[in-house]
Structure 1
């Protein structure tokens, strides 16, 4: 049985190994990683799924700013190859989004594929500029409260740069 819990300091290396396994070499060169440098993740939303004590999946969130608006940057989310196709990634996303809503976050964004993330309500964000070379068509957002993305535009910045 897979159990879900908060990511703790003891999970760091196992979770990083999972991300290394699931993503191409050089994943840390992506523009989204520039937004994470020197900024702590939102610990309450970083979750680890374990089966028999072994990491099966993980998700992380980071605080960012879009113009003057606070937002969450979802990612990375990964599921071990032995658990892919079981719905674990969807469970991580749905559970963490509900936790973000309960914590009174208004909006979430990510860089990803609309066919996958659209199932969870994410849609293309026009006027939101991720650092290059991000494809603008892959910048997606989800309003956790009605209208949270209305009128929000500008460059995405690390939260530390905008405080």
Structure 2
């Protein structure tokens, strides 16, 4: 399948939400990661989509600013690929693109909740034991990638959102697009 990765645009909101619903199901908004993302904007320059040659949105990934127990970090997610495009390498391409962009922009650590066997190939390993997510989460799925070995040294506590808040007006405008 041929596709292109680009920065997410405000007009992508409806297609992105529809893709997430199809790929992740109706319970996706109950995840602990969603608590951190709710009401926030993704980190500047770190929201990406994959489009088919026809222009259809077939993949998405975003990164969010968080306080990781006193250390600045990013929370990655959700990463999603349209069901009809699974197994084509789009998810891996989005991951690599997001990781490279985060490192290029000077970020030092990325955290996520996901399947370790999938994310280990990108360099993720178990997050520091002293860190946790808000609400229930599976410890073995809480992973970290650091660009500097000391990036999460001393990090302890529950992840907190630190990114810019989204205004109701801008949310309504994005949904109207």
Normalised to the residue count of structure 1, the TM-score between the two structures is 0.93
Q: 2:74 aligns with which of 72, 75, 95?
A: 72
- The alignment yields a C-alpha RMSD, in angstroms, of 1.4
Match runs of 1:9-158 below 5 Å: 9-51=10-52, 52-125=54-127, 126-158=129-161
- Residue 159 (structure 1) aligned with residue 162 (structure 2): yes
CA distance in 2 between counterparts of 1:146 and 1:129 reads 19
CA 1:160–1:11 in structure 2 vs 1: closer, same or farther (change >3 Å)?
Answer: closer
Counterpart secondary structure, 2:62: strand
Alpha-carbon displacement from aligned partner over 1:79-135 (angstroms, at most 9, x marks no partner):
111211111101100111000001000000000111011111111112111012111
C-alpha contact (below 8 Å) 1:128/1:139 kept by paired residues:
no
TM-fit CA distance, 1:61: 1.0
TM-fit CA distance, 1:27: 1.0
C-alpha contact (below 8 Å) 2:134/2:158 kept by paired residues:
yes
Normalised to the residue count of structure 2, the TM-score between the two structures is 0.86
TM-fit CA distance, 1:160: 5.5
CA distance in 2 between counterparts of 1:38 and 1:45 reads 17
Alpha-carbon displacement from aligned partner over 1:55-79 (angstroms, at most 9, x marks no partner):
1111011111111111100000101
C-alpha contact (below 8 Å) 2:71/2:151 kept by paired residues:
no
C-alpha contact (below 8 Å) 2:32/2:135 kept by paired residues:
yes
CA 1:160–1:45 in structure 2 vs 1: closer, same or farther (change >3 Å)?
Answer: closer
Alpha-carbon displacement from aligned partner over 1:5-32 (angstroms, at most 9, x marks no partner):
1001000000110000011212111111
